[in-house]
Chain A
Amino acid sequence: MIEGLLVSLFVFVLAVLLGFEVISKVPPILHTPLMSGSNAISGIVLIGALVVVVRSDSVIGDSLGIGAVALATINVVGGFMVTDRMLQLFRRGPDRPSQ
C-alpha cells in the first residue's frame, strides 16, 4: 500500500511541475478564462463522487455521494460553458497590429 501512495506522490509532484511549466506560458489576457477553465478541470472530483456513490451501501453514504455529484457537476458544466462563452468574445482585429 505504501508503494501505492508513493506512486501517487510521484505523479502529484510531477503534475505540479508540469502545471507550472504549461500555465506560466498563458498570457495575462487569458487569465480569467484560465481560472474558470482550470476550475472546470478541478471538477474532475466528479469521478471521485461517482465512485463514492457506487461503493456506498448506506443512506448516509448515498447522500454524501449524490451531494458531491451535484456540486461537482455544477462545477464541470458551468465552468466549461462559461469559459467557452468568454473565449468566443476574444477576436482578432481586422488589420494586423502595426508594431
Chain B
Amino acid sequence: MTLINVVNLAYLLAAVLFIIGLKRLSSPATARSGNRMGATGMLIAVVVTLLDREVLDYTQIAGGVIVGAIVGATLARTIKMTAMPQMVAIFNGLGGGASALVASGEFHKLTSDAADVGTDVGVTIMLGTFIGAVTFSGSFIAFGKLQDIVTGRAISSPIIKTLNPILFLTALGLGGFMVVLLAEGSASMSEVMPLFLALVVVSLALGILLVMPIGGADMPVVIALLNSYSGLAAAAAGFVLDNMVLIISGSLVGASGFILTRIMCIAMNRSIWNVMFGAFGAQATGPDQAGAEGRQAQSTTAEDSSIVLAYAKSVIFVPGYGLAAAQAQHQVKELADLLQSKGVEVRHAIHPVAGRMPGHMNVLLAEADVPYDQLFAMEDINDDFDRTDVAVVVGANDVTNPVSRDVPDSPIYGMPILNVDRARNIIFIKRSLSPGFAGIDNPLFYNPKTRMYFADARRALTDLVNAIKEL
C-alpha cells in the first residue's frame, strides 16, 4: 500500500471520528467522550499530514502551532461562561481567516509558478477567499457588539443597504474576471495580484457592513450564521486543495450552523432575510400601545412569595439573560435545592433565545451545578405550565409575552413563547415594569395571577432563600 493511500485512510478515519463525535453530542451523558473523539480525529489528521509531506523544516510549522496552541489554550481556560458567545465569535472569525489564507496561499503558489489554472480551481480559490474573508471581518464585528466595543444598536442605513449589493457584485466581478484571466494562462502574477488584493479588501468590507447594522438582540442568529460560514470556508479550502477530509468536516459544520440559524430564527419569529436586512430594534414601536393605564400590577414581598413557593407542589423557573447579567445562577440553584428539599418538584424552562447564543442559558445553569435533568427545552415543558403551581420568571421578559399569541399586529406576533401565563401563580422578578429588548409592553405584568417582585435578580433570590428558611 502506498503512502498516499495510508494518508487518505487516516483522513477517512478522522472524518468518521468527527461524525461519530458529533453524534455523541445528542446526549449530555456521551457528549464529553464525543468531543474527545473529535479531538482525536483532528490529531490523527494533523500527524498524518506532517508525516506525509517531506517536511524539510519543521521549525516554521512548529512556531505557528506553538503560538496558536498557547493562545487557544489560554483563551479556553480563562474565558468566563457568560462570555462564551464572544469566544465562539472570535473562533468563527479565526477559522474563516485561516481558510482565506489557505486559498490565498494556493493562489500565490499557482500564479508564481505560472501554472495552468483550470476554471474549477480558479472558482474554488475565489470562493474560499471570499467566504473566508467575509467570515473573518463579520465575526470580529459580532465580537465587538457582544463585548460592547461596537454599538449594539440596530442601524438602519440606506447607504449600507445600497452599498452591500454593490460590494457583493464587485467581489463577484473581480473573482470572475480573475478566473477567466487565469484560465487563459495569459496573466502574469503582477497583473492579477492587485485584483486579488482588491477582492480581499472588498470581501472584508462586506463582512463588516453585513454585521454592522444588526442589533445586539439578534446576535444569536448572527453567530450561528457565521458558524455556518466558517464551515463552508473550510469546505471551500478543501475544494481548492482537493482534500476530502476538509470538505467533509467543513460541510458538517456548515450544516450545523445552518440548523442552529434556522432554530434561532424560528424562536425569534424572524426570517433570516429580515435579520440580515430588517434592523429590528430600530423599528420597534414604543411601549405605549394598549397603554398601561387602568391596569394595576400587583407587587409582592419575599415573605409572601416564600409561602407560595414553599407550599407549592411544582415550580418552574424561567431564567433569561438578565439572570446571567446579575450573576444569579448560583442563587437560583440554591433556591431550587431548598425547594426540592421541601418536596417541591423543580424544573427550569429554557427558551431557545434565553441567552446570547444558542443553548447559552443551559451552560450557565450547568456551571451553577444545576443538574441537566432539571433543564427543559421549551417544547418539552410548555404543556406542563397548566399543571404547575408557580412559575418564577427571573431576568426574562419578551419570551413570556402573551402578546405574541394574541395581538396580530405586534412586532413579536407569532414568536413562540413559554406558556408562563398558564401557570396557577406567577412570580415575576424584575427591577421595574420597563419593556424588554423588543420594546413591547408585557400584559403578563398585569395578569391577576401575577405578583411582581421588584428587585435585582440576585438580591431577590437570596431574600427568598432566607425567607423560606425562616418559615
The answer to whether A and B belong to the same complex is yes
B242-254 vs A, Cβ < 8 Å mask (1 yes, 0 no): 1111111111111
The answer to whether B120 and A5 touch across the interface, beta carbons within 8 angstroms, is yes
Minimum CB distance partner of A29 in chain B = B362
Q: Is the CB of B23 within 8 A of A25?
A: yes
Residues B38 and A80 in contact, CB atoms below 8 Å apart: yes
B44 to chain A, nearest CB (A): 11
With contact pairs A1-B118, A77-B72 given, residues A28 and B362 touching in the complex (Cβ less than 8 Å): yes
Report the bound CA distance from A60 to B193 in whole Å.
12
Asked whether, in the complex, the Cβ of A44 is within 8 Å of the Cβ of B42, the reply is yes
Give which listed residue, B39, B71, B244, contacts A8 with CB less than 8 A: B244
B259 & A23 in contact (Cβ 8 Å cutoff): yes
Provided the pairs A29-B362, A43-B95 are in contact, do residues A81 and B77 lie with their beta carbons within 8 angstroms?
Answer: yes
A24 to B120, CA, bound (A): 32
How many angstroms between the C-alpha atoms of A33 and B362 in the bound complex?
10
Question: Is B352 close to A, CB under 8 A?
Answer: yes
> Does B81 count as interface, using CB distance less than 8 angstroms?
yes
Given contacts A16-B255, A45-B98, A93-B373, contact A8 B239 (CB under 8 A): yes
Q: Does chain A have a CB within 8 A of B170? A: no
Contact indicator A41/B38 (Cβ below 8 Å) = yes
Known contacts A11-B247, A19-B256, A70-B64; decide if A30 and B38 are in contact (CB<8 Å). no
Docked-complex contact A48 and B239, CB < 8 angstroms: no
- Complex formed: what's the CA distance from A71 to B101 in Å? 9
Instruction: Let me know if B39 and A80 touch, CB within 8 A.
Output: yes
CB distance from A40 to the nearest CB of B (A): 7
- Main secondary structure, interface of B, reads helix
Closest B residue by C-beta to A84: B35
A-chain residues with CB within 8 Å of residue B227 when the two chains form the complex: 35, 38-39
CA–CA, A89 and B123, complex, Å: 44
Q: Which residues of B contact A60 (CB under 8 A)?
A: 108
Contacts A30-B28, A58-B112 known; A80 to B231 CB distance under 8 Å?
no
Which single residue of chain B is at the shortest CB-CB distance from A76?
Answer: B42
Bin chain B's interface residue count: 35 or more
Check if A90 sits within 8 Å of B359, measured CB to CB: no
Known: A19-B251, A45-B246, A92-B373. A31 touches B95 (CB 8 A): no
CB distance from A4 to the nearest CB of B (A): 6
Assess whether B260 is in contact with A34, with CB atoms less than 8 Å apart: yes
**Which of A32, A48, A55, A65 has the most chain B CB atoms closer than 10 A to its own CB?**
A48
Q: List residues of chain A with CB within 8 A of the CB of B27.
A: 27
B42 lies within 8 A of A28 (CB): no
Most buried by A among B224, B367, B371: B371
A1 to B118, CA, bound (A): 8
Distance from B198 Cβ to chain A, minimum over Cβ atoms (Å)? 17
Which of chain B's residues has its CB closest to A52's CB?
B105
B77-106 contact mask (Cβ, 8 Å, vs A): 1 or 0? 101010010011001101101110110111
Task: Tell me the count of chain A residues lying within 8 A, CB to CB, of chain B.
Answer: 87
Closest chain-A Cβ to B285's Cβ sits at a distance in Å of 30
User: Does the CB pair B35–A73 fall under 8 Å?
Assistant: no
Nearest opposing residue in chain B for A10, CB measure: B247
Q: Residue B237 at the A interface, CB < 8 A? A: yes
Which residue of A has the minimal Cβ distance to B123? A5
Residues of A within 8 A of B39 (CB): 40, 80, 84
B257 touches A78 (CB 8 A): no
Nearest-CB distance from B393 to chain A (Å)?
A: 19
Residue of A nearest to B345 (CB): A98
**Subset of 16 A-B contacts with CB under 8 Å:** A19-B253, A28-B377, A31-B260, A34-B260, A43-B98, A45-B246, A45-B250, A46-B98, A47-B46, A54-B53, A55-B109, A68-B64, A69-B65, A73-B67, A74-B71, A83-B35
Q: Which residues of B contact A (CB under 8 A)?
A: 14, 18-19, 21-23, 25-29, 31-32, 34-36, 38-39, 42, 45-46, 49-50, 53-55, 60-61, 63-65, 67-69, 71-73, 75-77, 79, 81, 84, 87-88, 91-92, 94-95, 97-99, 101-102, 104-106, 108-109, 112, 118, 120-121, 124, 223-224, 227, 230-231, 233-235, 237-260, 263, 345, 350, 352, 355, 357-360, 362-363, 366-367, 369, 371-375, 377-378
Query: 5 extra interchain contacts, Cβ-Cβ under 8 A, other than A44-B250, A48-B240, A89-B367?
Result: A23-B256, A41-B18, A42-B233, A46-B46, A77-B73
